[in-house]
Amino acid sequence: MAKRRLRLGMVGGGQGAFIGGVHRLAARMDDRYELVAGCFASTAEKSKASGIELGVDPGRTYGSFEEMATSEAGREDGIDVVSIVTPNHVHFAACFAFLEAGIPVICDKPMTTTFADAVALQALVANTGKAFVLTHNYTGYPMIRQARAMVEAGLLGKIRVVQAEYAQDWLATKIETEGLKQAEWRTDPARSGPAGSTGDIGTHAANLASFVTGLDIDELAAELSTFVEGRRLDDDCRVLLRFAEGARGMLWASQVACGNENGLKLRVYGEKGGLEWSQEDPNYLWHAPLGEPKRLITRGGAGAGPEAGRVSRIPPGHPEGYLEGFANIYSDTAELLWAKLESRDPDPATNLLPTVTDGVKGVKFIEAVVESSEHGGRWTTARI
């Protein structure tokens, strides 16, 4: 089959939305997709206006995602995949509609706002056999792939301690009352779900800890805080973690930590050594073998393996990070979709894509954190 750009649809991501633009840039970075259809907003009028700005055929700019799923499924040139980039409360219904229509899905995290919905979506993915990818974009960073490969190779030995944190300060004041769309929905329980900072950024930290170590979180003990007066969801969380195979850890996520912009950090310590990585300096990974000097591994430089090289695009020393991480998710998804279209096995690297199961784990993590905090920080199961 002659290669062509995959036909991409989008739900959400219209005028005033930050993440929609990120997804569109990521999808086009490796020239694997073309945006051809969308329901870009919650009203037909706003969706149409966004579609015009994006150059989408007005006949394929829809007033509802239900109409879009039905119409696109019936077209000979219908979309190959849809990206769901709405606020959290829309994820479940939108994903369900497209999967039932036979259309693969790329969805932002957290996957749903309730664990019951996450499990139902997992069952539907299994029943339809359609591809489902969750955009935990940090798993696409080269040095995160490098760290995972080093853990898998046994260079750290048995994992003992995992420290994850994600600190920001953009919600240090009550900006959700000042008309900022991104703050409004993230602090609204009806649209964000039962957690604030935990669901928005804590899930990234938890996912990254498990992705690199290969260990699931078994139990946790959490305390949620809402420091900004009048805010309805947490803006800071602290969580003790018990991982499979005996590893222990801590997770801190805050959106009121003054002086922090996007401070996602991961530290992993095993019997033979440790690893340290910071998202704000993403091209570097520190490796500390026990009893030896620390070693700096650079993206594309000495010490970096093929796992990092596969998802690197530019020479060492040039900044590469957020958009490229998203693009790696989209590129691997394109390979997965083309493998299905061509009835062949995909590149084994697509096994690293975040799946619906990762989505279920993420929602379970959120609910376990909320439950633990509501009961005075008691240990609560996070297993699925």
CB 319 within 8 A of CB 283: yes
Which residues, 6 or more positions from 251, have their beta carbon under 8 angstroms from its beta carbon?
163, 164, 165, 202, 205, 206, 209, 237, 238, 239, 241
Q: Quick one: which of 215, 212, 214, 234 has its CA closest to 225?
A: 234
Tell me the three state secondary structure of residue 358: helix
Which residues pair with residue 381 across a beta bridge?
219
The per-residue b/e assignment along 291-302, b for 16 or more CB within 10 angstroms, e otherwise, is eeeeeebbbbee
**Cβ atoms within 10 A of the Cβ of 379, count?**
15
The alpha carbon of 322 is separated from its chain's Cα centroid by a whole number of angstroms, namely 12
C-beta of residue 359 within 8 angstroms of C-beta of residue 118: yes
Instruction: Quote the pLDDT of residue 2.
Output: 59
pLDDT at 319: 87
Region at 46 (left for phi over 0; alpha for psi -120 to 50; beta for the rest): alpha
| DSSP one-letter code for 290 | T
Domains belonging to the chain, first-starting first, are 6-130 (3.40.50.720), 140-314+361-381 (3.30.360.10)
Instruction: Report pLDDT for 346.
Output: 97
What integer pLDDT is reported at residue 280 of this predicted model?
97
In this prediction the pTM is 0.96
Mean pLDDT by 10 residues, the chain (384 residues): 87 94 97 98 96 97 98 98 98 98 98 98 98 98 98 98 98 96 96 98 98 98 98 98 96 98 98 98 97 96 92 90 96 97 95 98 98 98 96
